């Protein structure tokens, strides 16, 4: 493929990147503002398990203003104040990020979502949740809201392997993930699949299989990240006792894996992220010392060096 724009996503990047997509659907700058509405998870409160996911420490991605001592309005106010210093005309999506943000009675969800949407400058919602916490009643509410504003459901799928889901104490099945993707797509609710590469017991063949399987499903957006071992988690305890069960990626190894993954990924799927970062003091392994944008640059360089692009090896009966 030549350097001129011949990619199906309509620009010259070698993958269907999220920032370009976002700019194409919104007129002007739009920023996610994380909020913590005080939810829990069904694998924490006993409904499906206790202890939560073995890899999870919510403090690794929660801004300081997302304090439950701050009501939702104050969290939005402080988050928006931070970003509006640079771009006064920016608009915002309230990002319900911590824990499972559809895991509450419908009356509570409706009140929280509407409160966020009524805040000046907020034009939509991004709602992080689990595939098993999207009942028909919840989907009805999200469908109703999505007819009025932008709504994205970001679901933690993590892996396509039931054995791995059980091993990491997710408390849901792959079948439930498939249903959630199909139902959100059928109802025209924007969906985003969150997946972790490097979970214990999985290898490079599993990751490429994952790319192919995800490509066959109605996935709009995908977020990848490398497995990180964080302090304060059950996985950190396991890693300390049995490090041989894990394979923390080197930077170069993971960059090559991401390129392999992209080659097998449906070009219609938008890629929001390749890596996750956490406060340095909370990361046990792997310790790369790279900013996210530095890793993205490595992937883009590797795509160019290999003269490849998202979907180059993608195979579908519809072609």
**Does any domain span residue 300?**
yes
Quick one: what percent of the chain has pLDDT higher than 90? 83
**Does any domain span residue 3?**
no
**Does any domain span residue 111?**
yes
Whether 191 contacts 126, CB under 8 Å? no
Give the global pTM. 0.93
pLDDT in tens, 133-165: 999 999 999 999 999 999 999 999 999 999 999
Is the pLDDT at 214 greater than 60? The verdict is yes
**Does any domain span residue 44?**
yes
- DSSP assignment of 263-313: HTS-TTSEEEES-----GGGEEE------HHHHHHHHHHHHHHTT--TTTT
Q: What is the CATH number of the domain that holds 274?
A: 3.20.20.70
In whole angstroms, give the CA distance from residue 166 to residue 134: 20
Q: Which domain holds residue 97?
A: 18-305
- Angle between helical axes of 251-263 and 292-305 (0-180°, round to 10): 60
Token pair of 276 as six digits: 């996750």
Is the pLDDT at 316 greater than 80? The verdict is no
pLDDT in tens, 220-229: 999 999 999 9
In whole angstroms, give the CA distance from residue 215 to residue 312: 13
- DSSP assignment of 217-259: S--SEEEEEE--EETTSHHHHHHHH-GGG--PPPHHHHHHHHH
pLDDT in tens, 254-296: 999 999 999 999 999 999 999 988 888 999 999 999 999 999 9
| DSSP 3-state of 187 | coil
- Angle between helical axes of 136-146 and 174-186 (0-180°, round to 10): 30
User: Count of H helices and E strands in the chain?
Assistant: 10, 9
Whether 91 contacts 100, CB under 8 Å? no
In whole angstroms, give the CA distance from residue 223 to residue 276: 9
In whole angstroms, give the CA distance from residue 231 to residue 159: 22
| DSSP 3-state of 209 | helix
**Does any domain span residue 7?**
no
Beta carbons within 8 Å of 65's beta carbon, 6+ residues apart: 74, 75, 78, 79, 82
Which uninterrupted H or E stretch holds 142? helix 136-146
**Does any domain span residue 319?**
no
**Does any domain span residue 86?**
yes
Band (246; pLDDT cuts 50, 70, 90): very high
pLDDT in tens, 199-212: 999 999 999 999 99
Beta carbons within 8 Å of 313's beta carbon, 6+ residues apart: 263, 264
Whether 157 contacts 131, CB under 8 Å? yes
List strand residue ranges (DSSP E) for 130-248, in order: 150-158, 190-197, 221-226, 229-230
Number of Cβ within a 10 Å radius of residue 287: 11
SS (H, E, C) 23-39: HHHCCCCEEEEEECCCC
Looking at the structure of the chain, the number of domains it has is: 1
pLDDT in tens, 235-244: 999 999 999 9
**Does any domain span residue 13?**
no
């Amino acid at each position: 493929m030549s350097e001129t724009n011949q990619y199906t996503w309509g620009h010259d990047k070698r993958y269907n990147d999220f920032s370009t997509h976002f700019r194409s659907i919104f007129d002007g700058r739009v920023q996610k503002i994380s909020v913590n509405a005080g939810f829990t998870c069904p694998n924490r409160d006993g409904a499906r398990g206790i202890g939560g996911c073995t890899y999870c420490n919510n403090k690794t991605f929660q801004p300081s203003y997302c304090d439950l001592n701050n009501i939702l309005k104050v969290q939005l106010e402080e988050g928006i104040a931070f970003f509006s210093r640079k771009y006064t005309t920016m608009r915002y999506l309230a990002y319900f990020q911590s824990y499972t943000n559809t895991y509450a009675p419908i009356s509570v969800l409706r009140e929280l979502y509407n409160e966020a949407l009524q805040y000046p400058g907020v034009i939509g919602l991004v709602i992080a949740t689990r595939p098993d916490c999207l009942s028909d009643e919840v989907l009805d509410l999200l469908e109703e809201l999505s007819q009025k504003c932008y709504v994205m459901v970001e679901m933690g799928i993590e892996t396509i392997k039931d054995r791995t889901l059980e091993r990491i104490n997710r408390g849901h099945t792959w079948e439930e993930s498939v249903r959630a993707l199909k139902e959100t797509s059928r109802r025209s609710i924007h969906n985003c699949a969150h997946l972790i590469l490097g979970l214990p017991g999985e290898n490079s063949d599993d990751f490429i299989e994952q790319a192919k399987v995800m490509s066959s499903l109605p996935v709009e957006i995908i977020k990848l990240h490398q497995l990180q071992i964080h302090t304060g988690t059950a996985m950190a305890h396991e890693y300390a006792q049995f490090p041989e069960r894990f394979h923390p990626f080197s930077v170069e190894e993971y960059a090559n894996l991401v390129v392999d993954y992209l080659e097998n990924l449906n070009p219609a799927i938008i890629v929001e992220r390749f890596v996750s970062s956490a406060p340095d003091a909370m990361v046990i392994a792997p310790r790369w010392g790279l900013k996210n944008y530095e890793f993205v640059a490595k992937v883009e360089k590797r795509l160019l060096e290999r003269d490849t692009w998202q979907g180059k090896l993608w195979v579908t009966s519809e072609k």
